[in-house]
Amino acid sequence: MEVIILGERLDFHVRISPEERDFLEEMGINKSKLVHDGIKGLMDELPKSLNKRKKEIDKEKKEIDRKLALLKTKKAVDNCYLEDIVNDFIRYGRENQTYDQNITWLSKYKDGLERKNITISLPSLLEYCNKKVSEVRK
């Protein structure tokens, strides 16, 4: 591709195959007009495409922000419920009980955890409670 500056215009040279040249001649297509129309089409279409994509991205971002807000709210509610369990754990002196006794005691919260879609195993919940108790006792 060769570009030569001629005053306000550029002389634009493009190599095409003999097959492409023959096709253009047979169809009576003006090569300059073809190039100008192609460039004009790209100039018109590119901003539209970018604007359309920007709108799609903005819409996706709003949806992600909405989901994130819901997740933050759910996390806050879940943490409150877990803190209630920890408070009960402390109030009833569960830190002095055996592992098996505490797992059995915590199982009464299993239905509430499932209803709230809080996925935590009872051993993990016991570990969480023990960790919180040790933080409170410091």
Tens of pLDDT, residues 10-27: 777 788 899 999 999 999
The SS3 call for residue 31 is helix
* Average pLDDT across the chain, whole number: 89
**What pLDDT is stored for residue 72 in this prediction?**
95
For the chain, what percentages of helix, strand and coil (3-state, to nearest 5) are there?
A: 80, 5, 15
Counting residues of the chain whose pLDDT is more than 90, the rounded percentage is 64
**What pLDDT is stored for residue 10 in this prediction?**
74
Confidence of residue 41 (pLDDT cuts 50, 70, 90): confident
Mean pLDDT, residues 110-115 taken together: 93
Hey, where are the domains in the chain? 2-137
